[in-house]
Amino acid sequence: MANKRKKLTPITKSKKSNNPTNIRLKPEVSRKLINRFHVLIKAKALLFTKISLPKNHKLSEENYSSILSDSYPRINQLYLTRKNEIFTKLSQQSKKHRTEMRNDLFVTLSKLHDCRLSNDITDQLLSTAIEILAEIDAEIDLQGGLHTYQVASLNGQDKLRGSDSSKKLIEWLTELCKSPPDLPLTALEIGSLSSKNQISTSKWFKDNVTRIDLNSQDSDTILQQDFMQRPLPKSEKEKYHLISCSLVLNFVSSAQERGEMLKRIGKFFKPSKDIQDHGIFPCFFFVLPLPCVTNSKYINKENILPLLNGLGYSLLKYHESTKLVYMLLRYNESEKTKNFKFQKKELDVTRKAKRNNFSIILK
Ligand SMILES: C[S@@+](CC[C@H](N)C(=O)[O-])C[C@H]1O[C@@H](n2cnc3c(N)ncnc32)[C@H](O)[C@@H]1O
């Protein structure tokens, strides 16, 4: 009898090579995958805060593989070997057993004290940290990597919102200024999964949409790029009338990096004087999962708006759906507060309900 091949990922190989917009997952499967990715990404972010590097480099989701392979070859070897071993082990285990194995992740992480990254792999603390990193990455790879998360997000778009989030953007633009101004409007979409969403297909931005993503699903239409590494604009021509950042900030691993991203976005807007702009452009379309503002220990609607104001953003439109919060904000550099800071401070400590740790720090 032919050997039945074990299905390793929730998305089969043949489907994986197809356009992700065509892959359909059950809503329950999408939800579980997205939640698990968030847990794993959060665990990695916590782990990175516990590893310190010589010369104050900071490890992050975006840079750790190149830092490990370029500067710490022995540690990198340990990481790769361990990841391979765990990948093989996990792929032979039942789903239930895998979940049990990983449930203690945060407990282990909370016990881990600061460890300094050097090439000394005999350091027990450091090798534990690297092993945890390898375990998390093995599980992410086993699920099909970032690709699976993106497919699940695309499916989530359909099921949770009735369509893609940029539908709300186009609805608001039409409501605020009826039709596009005469000059061509340009848009930058950070964290783009498809060129078929409303930003790209509506009459507002026509062919002037730049789409980027850490992991491009279509190299013809989406540039594979980390926004934090995107070269800063050298001239007004390289700036945008609209920047969309939908469900990306919650994906960024640490509160400080989220603050850095919001600040950096400000450098990519066209100046407002340039356009008969109906008081709207340049603007920022910003979407977060609703619990980021309704159930976070540190962020709520009352403090996120002053935080955004301090960075030069003022609110034009706000909408909460059952799952997401949508904001349209006008950007004006001259309205920025100089040296604006925002610290992480627990809100309403008397509140008993279980809350999430979403936060933003501006230093
Ligand atoms: C949940 S998906 C959201 C996609 C889409 N914008 C939406 O609203 O459904 C988040 C995407 O952001 C991308 N992303 C996260 N950080 C990024 C960064 N620094 N630069 C570019 N893309 C990033 C991820 O690769 C992922 O594809």
Tokens of 276: 């008969």
Q: Cα(194) to centroid of ligand 1, in Å?
A: 11
Q: Answer yes or no: are the C-beta atoms of 175 and 229 closer than 8 Å.
A: no
Query: Is the N-terminal amide bond of 231 cis, ω within 30° of 0?
Result: no
Atom of ligand 1 nearest to the CA of 261: 19
Q: Cα(125) to centroid of ligand 1, in Å?
A: 32
Q: Answer yes or no: are the C-beta atoms of 244 and 189 closer than 8 Å.
A: yes
| Ligand 1 binding pocket includes 227 (Cβ within 6 Å) | yes
Amino acid at 224: Q
Q: Cα(93) to centroid of ligand 1, in Å?
A: 31
69 Rama class: left (phi>0) / alpha (psi -120 to 50) / beta: alpha
Q: Cα(246) to centroid of ligand 1, in Å?
A: 7
Torsion of CA 87, 93, 99, 102, to 10 degrees: -40
Amino acid at 58: K
What the chain holds in terms of domains, given with CATH numbers, is 24-148 (no CATH), 163-335 (3.40.50.150)
**pLDDT confidence of residue 184:** 87
Q: What is the per-residue DSSP string for 318-358?
A: EEE-SSEEEEEEEE-GGGPPTT--B------TT--S--B--
Torsion of CA 93, 99, 129, 79, to 10 degrees: 30
Q: Cα(191) to centroid of ligand 1, in Å?
A: 3
Residue written as tokens 């500067």? 71
Rounded-to-integer distance, Cα 214 and Cα 229, Å: 10
pLDDT in tens, 86-136: 888 878 776 666 665 555 666 677 767 777 777 776 777 778 888 888 888
Phi, psi of 130 (to 5 degrees): -70, -35
Query: How many residues comprise the chain?
Result: 363
**pLDDT confidence of residue 215:** 83
Q: Cα(214) to centroid of ligand 1, in Å?
A: 7
Is residue 10 classed as helix, strand or coil in its secondary structure? coil
From atom 12 of ligand 1, which residue's Cα is the shortest distance away?
Answer: 191
Ligand 1: which of 189, 197, 214 to mutate, most ligand atoms within 8 Å of CB?
Answer: 214
Q: What is the residue-level pLDDT of the chain in tens, covering all 363 positions?
A: 444 444 444 544 444 444 555 556 677 777 778 878 888 887 888 888 888 777 667 788 878 888 888 888 888 998 999 889 888 887 877 666 666 555 566 667 776 777 777 777 677 777 888 888 888 888 888 877 777 777 777 776 554 444 578 999 999 999 998 778 777 899 999 999 888 889 999 989 988 999 999 888 888 999 999 999 999 999 999 999 999 999 999 988 789 999 999 999 999 999 876 555 667 899 999 999 999 999 999 999 999 999 999 999 999 999 999 889 999 999 999 899 999 999 989 887 777 678 888 999 999
**pLDDT confidence of residue 15:** 44
Ranges assigned E (strand) in the chain: 51-52, 115-116, 187-190, 209-213, 223-224, 242-246, 283-289, 313-320, 324-331
Segment 161-165 long-range contacts (CB within 8 Å, at least 24 positions apart): 161/321, 161/323, 161/324, 163/198, 164/194, 164/197, 164/198, 165/197, 165/246, 165/247, 165/287, 165/324, 165/326
Q: Which residues, including other chains, have CB under 8 Å from residue 4's CB and lie 6 or more apart?
A: none
| Ligand 1 binding pocket includes 85 (Cβ within 6 Å) | no
| Ligand 1 binding pocket includes 228 (Cβ within 6 Å) | yes
- Prediction pTM value: 0.75
Q: How many C-beta atoms lie closer than 10 Å to residue 237's C-beta?
A: 8
Check if the interface score ipTM surpasses 0.95. Answer: yes
213 known member of a binding site: yes
| Ligand 1 binding pocket includes 157 (Cβ within 6 Å) | yes
Tokens of 337: 């507060």
Rounded-to-integer distance, Cα 205 and Cα 198, Å: 10
Q: Cα(103) to centroid of ligand 1, in Å?
A: 26
Strand partners, 313: 331
| Ligand 1 binding pocket includes 200 (Cβ within 6 Å) | no
From atom 14 of ligand 1, which residue's Cα is the shortest distance away?
Answer: 191
Atom of ligand 1 nearest to the CA of 192: 6
Rounded-to-integer distance, Cα 198 and Cα 196, Å: 7
Rounded-to-integer distance, Cα 301 and Cα 293, Å: 6
From atom 11 of ligand 1, which residue's Cα is the shortest distance away?
Answer: 191
| Ligand 1 binding pocket includes 217 (Cβ within 6 Å) | no
Segment 158-163 long-range contacts (CB within 8 Å, at least 24 positions apart): 159/27, 159/30, 160/27, 160/323, 160/324, 161/321, 161/323, 161/324, 163/198
Residue 321, CA distances (Å) to 136, 173, 289, 325, 327 in order: 32, 18, 9, 6, 11
